[in-house]
Chains A and B, each alone.
Chain A
Amino acid sequence: MGKKRKHGETVAVASVKKDDGDAAASERPQRTLFGWKDKKNGAQETETKTTTTTTTTTTITAGFRNKEKVLVTCSRRINFRYRHLMLNVVSLLPHCKKDNKVESKESKGATLNELVELKSCSSCLFFECRKHKDLYLWMAKGPNGPSVKFLVNAVHTMEELKLTGNHLKGSRPLLTFSSNFDSNAHWKLLKEMIIQIFGIPKEHRKSKPYHDHVFVFSIVDDHIWFRNYQISVPHNESNKIARGGLDNMTLVEVGPRFCLNPIKIFGGSFGGPTLYENPFYISPNQIRALEKRKKAGKYAKKVKAKTRRKMHELENPLEPDEFADMWKE
């Protein structure tokens, strides 16, 4: 029961936060994260439905500068494997800041929000490990942007020897998305967040000027699958690519691999109103409980069957056999 009460509390907090968010939204143009003050009404896909009321003079993006900064942390008592995954992500994103582990408790949202602000970051990746086996990934935007909670599956770190590729540290990745990212509103939102968080800002001081790796984000089976490939093009001279060299370009996987299962999308960062809930999601705890119950039922069933048999035998006693002692004499 205690758990439930807590849940209620978070909802209450969330609603409060939502109010905050709305207030902030109205006065948004003054304190945006990026260099631009004014923005056009809603981006690409959302022309029709956006209710954002930011009126703008369209002095646009000559001065656009992506100043994304990502805070990457994990919870305490994280698994080594998941920690390595986090470190891999850190090494892939030169525009990130790694921070100390954060205790994963109810108030972690507030802590993390504070941390994000302290480190002057605009988004956050939080690797939360529970029970030493389940990894959840929080992807949160800015002071009042949305946040997403994923369950992470099928983790392979970059250290695995079968992933043979290698590329420049800090070169900007190409981001490829499967087309079904545009099918639903929540996928659209996730795509935008991924572009902002995983895309390395242009002319970032730690980034390198060439493109020699490509990220794959693909939705298969309602999960987002992540892959990272090195692009290798055969050179014949020092700098020139062979004619048609682009055609026999090959990719070598660098890693890491993981698969994200979105659980919920919240309106605020680490909290706020729930905008989306995965209708297919079962928590791993529930799965384990189910398995346990399957096993636990075995003995009870056996006992039940035994008693039933006994009852049956009592109810229908065998008829006395008339030939039973025929050969006795």
Chain B
Amino acid sequence: MGVQNKGLALLKENKIEDDDNVDFDDEVSKSESGSDFESESEEDEDVKLTEPSKNAIYNTDGILDKLGDISWPENVGWIHKLSIDIDQEQQVDVNDDLARELAFYNQALEGTKKAFEKLQSMGLPFLRPADYYAEMLKTDSHMEKVKGRLLAEKRKIEEAEERRKARESKKLAKEIQAQKQKERNKQKKEEIESVKKWRKQRQQSGFASGEKDGEMDFSFEDGKSFERSNKKRPGVAPGDRSGGKTRQGGKGKKPQKKNFRDSKFGFGGKKALKKQNTAETTNDFRDFNKGHASGNKKRKR
């Protein structure tokens, strides 16, 4: 607002000198003195006077006269006009695009319903039968374009949805992993606890019943729990000095690129022998040019 006020001040300052060159148009209203300007955020910057100019013409009689001149006879059937008036319930805010469009939509919808009722009561057909084909307003190629755009939009939305889902599932997996870790830690703690308890008990009993400790029935006593499970554990094994590389397939696996290069250029063996001619290769003329086409041009001349 500040800027506008400044503009207004400027306008007043410069009023005298450019009073003439403002009037480009013949319908410029000349009474702008003491007026404030407000702007709306329409697509086209739409400015209007907030105060009505005083000497604007409003000839009500003349207008009504003209209206009487042009209007159709009063008892013309509605079917000639097809016009319907709809009450606007509340004031619509122009700058709120959504509300405005909604108001228009509602007006159209209500009007259509009323009109259809009237038409129905007159017994006139109003909807196009499904098998009535005729020229449409927009061509098929244009409608194809519209459809393409709609599809593209739909696809875009779907893709976004997929991405979102992936992200969420990733988050979920992380959570599950954390849960598992927690559980595992808990179990470990419990086991350690139980071992401690067992030791305490043994100490309390003063190792007296040394022979009888077979009757203590711990799960790890049957020797199984001390064996390593066959499952490979993640991470580097204690004796491994290759930094865990042996884990990933060990020595036998080469990287793919190396494999490809080996197959292409050969690997191992003597190079020299490969490059020597043998009896077969000396007799093989396939690779030679047939001569005439791209022979030695200098000699030809």
Asked whether A310 is an interface residue with its Cβ less than 8 Å from the other chain, the reply is no
A168→B68 CA distance, assembly (Å):
34
List A contacts of B109 (CB < 8 A): 249, 251
Is B145 touching A43 in the complex (CB atoms < 8 A)? Answer: no
Binary contact track A201-244/B, C-beta < 8 Å → 1, others 0? 11000001111101010101111010101010101001101000
A255 → chain B, closest Cβ, in Å? 9
Q: A60 contacts B73, CB within 8 Å? A: yes
Query: Which stretch in B78-86, B164-172, B175-183 binds the other chain?
Result: B78-86
Say what secondary structure dominates the interface of chain A.
mixed
Contact of A282 among B47, B54, B84 (CB under 8 A): B47
The answer to whether residues A172 and B69 also contact, given A154-B44, A166-B136, A251-B108 and a CB cut-off of 8 A, is no
A199 with B82: CB separation less than 8 A:
yes
Complex CA gap A62/B14 in Å reads: 64
Q: Which residues in chain B, 39-97, are within 8 Å of chain A measured between CB atoms?
A: 40, 42-50, 52-54, 56-77, 79-88, 92, 94
Q: Tally chain A residues at the interface, Cβ within 8 Å.
A: 122
Chain A residues with Cβ under 8 A from B32's Cβ? 282, 286
Q: Does A4 contact B (CB under 8 A)?
A: yes
- For A249, the chain B residues whose CB sits under 8 A away are 109, 112-113
Q: Which residue of chain A is the closest to B132 with respect to CB atoms?
A: A210
Question: CB-CB contacts of A275-303 with B at 8 A, as 1s and 0s?
Answer: 11111111101110111011001000000
B157 adjacent to chain A (CB < 8 Å): no
Q: Which of B253-289 contact A (CB under 8 A)?
A: none
Q: CA separation between A169 and B85, bound complex, in Å? A: 25
Contact between A177 and B126 (Cβ–Cβ < 8 Å)? no
| Contact between chains at B68 and A42 (CB < 8 Å) | yes
> What are the residues of chain A within 8 A of B136 when measuring CB–CB?
166-169
CB distance A282 to B6 under 8 Å? no
What is the CA–CA distance of A195 and B70 in the complex, to the nearest angstrom? 11
Q: For residues 1 through 36 of chain A, which have their beta carbon under 8 Å from a beta carbon of chain B? A: 1, 3-4, 6-7, 10, 25, 28, 34, 36
Contact stretch, chosen from B23-31, B189-197, B211-219, B293-301 = B23-31
CB closest residue in chain A, given B138: A166
Residue of B nearest to A161 (CB): B149
Give Cα A273–Cα B58 distance, bound, in whole angstroms: 11
Q: Choose the segment among A71-79, A112-120, A145-153, A312-320 that binds chain B (4+ C-beta atoms closer than 8 Å).
A: A145-153
* Whole-angstrom CA separation of A173 from B108 in the bound complex: 11
Given A168-B128, A169-B135, 17 further pairs, Cβ under 8 A: A40-B73, A43-B73, A50-B65, A64-B80, A144-B69, A175-B83, A175-B84, A196-B72, A211-B82, A211-B115, A212-B127, A222-B48, A229-B108, A238-B131, A267-B62, A293-B11, A294-B6
